[in-house]
């Protein structure tokens, strides 16, 4: 099967270096759209959907392969091999920040920089480490998914209400970026929120930026600080934003943080 | 206007039939109505200034951050999101949310309308529980079905084993002078054993089809080849029942070609013809008619027999569909043949149907098959029946089943060959090395070594490398044949052995008595 279809890869912009954008849990590549216009003039941009999300090929969802984040990291390396030109800047949101980190640990020579938006190496509290959640909370998330994916599963008619003042979004309403197979969504949720990659942080050699939101219940500030301490060559920038998606709700300051970091690296 | 007073906007908002909440885009509650307060147990003063996501369970908060918030950013609305709200008392209240983001002057607000869905929540939980129960039950059924199929395959295989020596024994008796009664009994036994072998073969085929293990060997064949092949098997059955038979071949049917597995398709047609003979009272009429259609052909088999009740015309193709039916019980049958016929027809891209005006009114079975353009015909091997004499050979039989070995031995000796027997793989290897036989008949399922291993050792030893090696086994799948070929066998025969086939092979390999 072609990689392009498997991951619904789209290429935009142009430039001597490539930015590879990976979305987080629950959405698809559409969520980068407030940020990509600012980068498109300077870089080649590759966007894709994780297998099991968005418009990826759901039949390629191999429950064994994707039972750890390494399965996704291998996909990232394949996409980079086939689509990247020049130095590679990986941009990952949430779980994908960790996926990019794992890929960079596997093949450090491929990555010039890793921009991590709202990353967390482990969501579950463990002794002194405060990830923010207990295992029971994750079960609660699976329940919420079960209730809502009943109506949102990709084989049911779209139920998401229109936004009359934004008619340009019409296409998305019938083809929502939150739709996927409910079983896959639950599996992905479990894999995402029970993964623990704290031990991998010291292995990172790629220059890394941690974009930390000032207030984020999924990746709270102590988690960002923990990562900053554990990853050599890392920078921590706090963006004024409430919530877990600064690239959607505060795209300007997110862009500034990223651009500043890349300028320092001459990228 | 009547005497009543229309409630003002304020009262409508406060006591609406749904909970209403106004928040900033970050979720901070700006205003909330009395209905929402009563459902959650908090006062408006307590709620204003808090974030709406703080009212959710932890799992709900993650969902809010990973789904709700991005949806609000990107399409300005969410609908029918169900999340659990934690009541002031700690109780869980399942609530359905609708939300729209709207600009009011310079400010943007999220307007939420919510409903408590206790009953729906319970109903949904019940549906989900039922679904997982069904999935589990389905899984169990699947397992049971798989085990049943495996059992059938094993049973068929085990039934074949004892038939091998019986069949060989009957072959031997044929070549020995027997008194008249003995000869008649022998002939009867031969017919019955042949019948039993057919039943077991059907059983095995069904088991293999069910487990997806059967593969068609497709070739371009003439329709006429199929009809001849099926009639060759069925004509004796039709004639034995005293029926008259008529073949109706319209002009042009000679130019009809099929992409088909000849053996399998003639098995289908022959099964239908045999059924017609079997379920028609003695002296009836059986017809086979070919009707060419556009890119297809319909083959009809008509009889004047027992007929089929209307309500059973579909179910007779189900596995064991004949067992419970009213079809001539005396004729028996497991009801495997038609199920097999339907599956094999389907595998050829065709379909099979049964029509009957009713009980006692005869039946018509129609097999529809796609046709293909005429092209180069694949040469089919022509088997000459009859005597195939072979020059005297040294034959080593390696077989652990004593009866089977003995009868094979007798059969070979009757053909004028010198025979030795070994009952294990190791004994076979020793005997082969010392005696240097021309032909080794080797069982695959030996107690000590696998037949494949014995074959490889024989091929590796320069003293025995030149022997002709024949595999005898109960397993006849393509995979088994490939394995035996790889191990160095020259031929592979499935038990119970049809002696004529082995003789033909020996004749072709070693030549006649003078050659």
| pLDDT one-digit tens code per residue, A204-215 | 999 999 999 999
Q: Which residues contact A99 (CB under 8 A, 6 or more apart)?
A: A22, A50, A69, A72, A73, A76, A92
Strand B296-303 relative to strand B285-293, pairing: antiparallel
Per-residue pLDDT reduced to its tens digit, B59-115: 999 999 999 999 899 888 888 899 999 999 999 999 999 999 999 999 999 999 999
Residues in B lying within 8 Å of A, measured between beta carbons: 25-27, 53, 57-63, 65-67, 69-71, 73-84, 94, 98, 100-103, 121, 124, 128
Per-residue pLDDT reduced to its tens digit, B425-455: 988 998 898 888 999 999 888 888 888 899 9
Q: Closest residue of A to B117, CA-based?
A: A147
A23, part of any domain = yes
Going by pLDDT thresholds of 50, 70 and 90, the confidence category of residue B329 is very low
| Superfamily grouping for domain B12-116 | PAS domain (3.30.450.20)
Asked if A144's CB is within 8 angstroms of B63's CB, the reply is yes
The CA distance from B58 to B79, in Å, is: 21
pLDDT at A166 over 70: no
Per-residue pLDDT reduced to its tens digit, B10-32: 999 999 999 999 999 999 999 99
Q: Which domain holds residue A236?
A: 3-122+197-264
B314: helix, coil or strand? coil
3-state secondary structure chain A: CCHHHHCCCEEEECCCCEEEEECCCCCCHHHHCCCHHHHHCCCEEEEECCCCCCCCCHHHCCCCHHHCHHHHHHHHHHHHHHHCCCCEEEEEECHHHHHHHHHHHHCHHHEEEEEEECCCCECECECCECCCECHHHHHHHHHHHHHHHHHHCCCCCCCCCCCCCCHHHHHHHHCCCCCCCHHHHHHHHHHHHHCECHHHHHHCCCCEEEEEEEECCCCCHHHHHHHHHHCCCEEEEEEEEECCCHHHHCHHHHHHHHHHHHHHCCC
Residues of A in contact with B121 (CB under 8 A): 147
| A212 touches A219 (CB < 8 A) | yes
B423: helix, coil or strand? coil
Mean pLDDT value across chain A: 89
Asked if B79's CB is within 8 angstroms of A218's CB, the reply is no
pLDDT at B377 over 70: no
CATH architecture of B219-370: 2-Layer Sandwich (3.30)
State the pLDDT at residue B380: 35
State the pLDDT at residue A116: 98
Q: Supply the angle between the helices B118-174 and B402-414 in degrees, to the nearest 10.
A: 40
Give the closest residue to B124 by CA, choosing from A184, A75, A232, A147.
A147
The CA distance from B191 to B419, in Å, is: 29
The residue to which tokens 């017609």 are assigned: B276
Asked if B71's CB is within 8 angstroms of A160's CB, the reply is yes
Lowest mean pLDDT among A159-173, B200-214, B354-368: A159-173
State the pLDDT at residue B334: 55
Asked if A137's CB is within 8 angstroms of B62's CB, the reply is yes
What string of DSSP letters covers B38-73?
Answer: HHHT--HHHHTTSBGGGGB-HHHHHHIIIIIHHHHH
A101, part of any domain = yes
* Domain boundary assignment for chain B: 12-116, 122-210, 219-370, 394-510
- pLDDT top residue among B397 and B380: B397
Read off the CATH number of the domain in which A67 is found: 3.40.50.1820
Residues of B in contact with A160 (CB under 8 A): 71, 75, 77-79
Write down the CATH number for the domain with range B122-210.
Answer: 1.10.287
Residue range A188-192: mean pLDDT, rounded? 95
**How many alpha carbons lie under 13 Å from residue B109 in its C-beta half-sphere?**
13
Query: Is A148 an interface residue toward B (CB < 8 Å)?
Result: yes
Q: Closest residue of B to A173, CA-based?
A: B75
Pull the structure tokens for residue A74.
Answer: 């291998």
Helix (H) or strand (E) holding B266: helix B262-278
Mutate: best of A24, A152, A243, A244, partner B, most B CBs <10 A: A243
Per-residue CA distances from B484 to A110, B303, B395 (Å): 50, 45, 19
Residues of A in contact with B94 (CB under 8 A): 147
A174, part of any domain = no
Asked if A138's CB is within 8 angstroms of B73's CB, the reply is no
CATH of range B394-510; options 3.40.50.2300, 3.30.10.20, 3.20.20.70, 3.10.20.740: 3.40.50.2300
Residues of B in contact with A252 (CB under 8 A): none
State the pLDDT at residue B328: 45
Mean pLDDT value across chain B: 85
The top-scoring range by mean pLDDT among A63-67, B411-415, B422-426, B479-483 is A63-67
State the pLDDT at residue A249: 93
pLDDT at B196 over 60: yes
- pLDDT top residue among B513 and B407: B407
Lowest mean pLDDT among A176-190, A203-217, B66-80, B332-346: B332-346
- pLDDT top residue among B182 and B382: B182
Alpha carbon of B117: minimum distance to chain A alpha carbons (Å): 12
pLDDT at B379 over 70: no
Alpha carbon of A95: minimum distance to chain B alpha carbons (Å): 11
Burial B169-203 (b: 16+ CB within 10 A, else e): bbbbbeeeeeeeeeeeebeeebeebeebbbebbbb
Mutate: best of A53, A147, A163, A217, partner B, most B CBs <10 A: A147
pLDDT at B381 over 50: no
The top-scoring range by mean pLDDT among B37-46, B75-84, B126-135, B288-297 is B37-46
State the pLDDT at residue A151: 59
B474: helix, coil or strand? coil
Alpha carbon of A244: minimum distance to chain B alpha carbons (Å): 6
Alpha carbon of A36: minimum distance to chain B alpha carbons (Å): 14
pLDDT at A162 over 80: no
pLDDT at B359 over 60: yes
Asked if A139's CB is within 8 angstroms of B59's CB, the reply is yes
């Amino acid at each position: 099967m072609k990689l392009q279809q498997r991951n619904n890869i789209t290429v935009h912009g142009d430039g001597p270096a490539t930015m590879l954008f990976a979305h987080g849990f629950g959405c698809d590549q559409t969520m980068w759209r407030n940020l990509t216009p600012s980068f498109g003039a300077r870089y080649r941009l590759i966007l894709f959907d994780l297998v099991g999300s968005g418009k990826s090929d759901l039949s390629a969802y191999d429950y064994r392969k994707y039972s750890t984040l390494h399965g996704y990291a291998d996909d990232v390396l394949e996409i980079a091999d086939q689509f990247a030109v020049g130095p590679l800047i990986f941009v990952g949101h949430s779980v994908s920040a960790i996926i990019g980190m794992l890929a960079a640990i596997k093949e450090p020579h491929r990555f010039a920089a890793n921009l991590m938006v709202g990353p967390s190496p482990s969501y579950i509290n463990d002794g002194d480490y405060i990830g923010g959640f207990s295992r029971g909370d994750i079960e609660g998330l699976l329940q919420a998914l079960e209730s809502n994916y009943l109506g949102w599963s990709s084989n049911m008619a779209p139920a998401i209400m229109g936004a009359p003042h934004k008619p340009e979004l019409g296409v998305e309403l019938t083809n929502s970026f939150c739709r996927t197979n409910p079983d896959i969504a639950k599996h992905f949720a479990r894999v995402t929120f029970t993964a623990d990659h704290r031990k991998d942080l010291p292995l990172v050699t790629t220059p890394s930026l941690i974009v930390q939101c000032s207030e984020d219940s999924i990746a709270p500030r102590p988690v960002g600080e923990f990562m900053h301490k554990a990853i050599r060559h890392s920078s921590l920038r706090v963006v004024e934003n409430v919530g877990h998606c600064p690239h959607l709700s505060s795209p300007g300051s997110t862009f500034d943080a990223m651009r500043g970091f890349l300028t320092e690296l001459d990228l | 206007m009547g005497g009543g007073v229309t409630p003002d906007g304020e009262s409508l908002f406060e006591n609406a039939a749904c909970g209403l909440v106004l928040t900033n885009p970050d979720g901070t509650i700006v205003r909330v109505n009395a209905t929402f307060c009563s459902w959650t147990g908090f006062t408006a003063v307590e709620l204003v200034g808090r974030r709406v996501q703080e009212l959710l369970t932890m799992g709900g908060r993650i969902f809010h951050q990973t789904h709700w918030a991005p949806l609000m950013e990107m399409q300005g609305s969410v609908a029918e999101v169900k999340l659990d709200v934690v009541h002031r008392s700690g109780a869980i209240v399942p609530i359905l949310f609708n939300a729209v983001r709207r600009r009011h002057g310079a400010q943007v607000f999220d307007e939420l309308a919510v409903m408590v869905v206790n009953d729906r929540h319970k109903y949904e939980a019940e549906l989900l529980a039922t679904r997982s129960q069904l999935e589990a039950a389905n899984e169990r059924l699947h397992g049971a079905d798989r085990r049943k199929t495996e059992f059938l395959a094993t049973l068929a295989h085990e039934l074949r084993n004892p038939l091998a020596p019986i069949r060989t024994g009957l072959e031997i008796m044929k070549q020995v002078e027997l008194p008249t009664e003995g000869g008649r009994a022998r002939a009867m036994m031969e017919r019955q054993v042949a019948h039993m072998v057919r039943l077991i073969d059907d059983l095995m085929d069904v088991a293999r089809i069910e487990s997806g293990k059967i593969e068609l060997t497709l070739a371009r064949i003439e329709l006429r080849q199929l009809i001849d092949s099926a009639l060759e098997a069925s004509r004796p059955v039709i004639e034995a029942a005293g029926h008259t038979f008529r073949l109706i071949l319209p002009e042009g049917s000679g130019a009809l070609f099929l992409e088909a597995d000849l053996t399998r398709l003639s098995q289908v047609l022959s099964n239908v013809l045999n059924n017609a003979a079997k379920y028609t009272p003695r002296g009836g009429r059986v017809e086979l008619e070919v009707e060419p259609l556009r890119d297809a052909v319909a083959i009809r088999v008509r009889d004047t027999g027992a007929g089929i009740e209307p309500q059973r015309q579909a179910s007779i193709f189900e596995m064991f569909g004949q067992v419970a039916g009213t079809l001539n019980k005396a004729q028996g049958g497991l009801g495997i043949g038609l199920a097999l016929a339907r599956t094999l027809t389907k595998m050829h891209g065709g379909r099979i149907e049964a029509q009957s005006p009713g009980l006692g009114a005869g039946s018509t079975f129609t097999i529809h098959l796609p046709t293909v353009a005429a092209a180069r015909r694949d040469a089919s091997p022509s088997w000459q029946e009859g005597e195939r004499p072979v020059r005297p050979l040294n034959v080593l039989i390696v077989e652990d089943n004593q009866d089977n070995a003995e009868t094979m031995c007798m059969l070979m000796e009757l053909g004028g060959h010198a025979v030795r027997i070994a009952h294990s793989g190791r004994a076979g290897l020793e005997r082969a090395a010392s005696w240097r036989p021309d032909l080794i008949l080797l069982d695959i399922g030996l107690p000590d070594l696998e037949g494949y291993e014995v074959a490889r050792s024989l091929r590796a030893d320069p003293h025995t490398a030149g022997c002709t090696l024949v595999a005898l086994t109960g397993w006849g799948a393509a995979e088994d044949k490939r394995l035996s070929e790889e191990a160095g066998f020259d031929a592979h025969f499935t038990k119970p052995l049809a002696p004529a086939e082995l003789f033909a092979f020996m004749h072709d390999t070693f030549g006649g008595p003078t050659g």
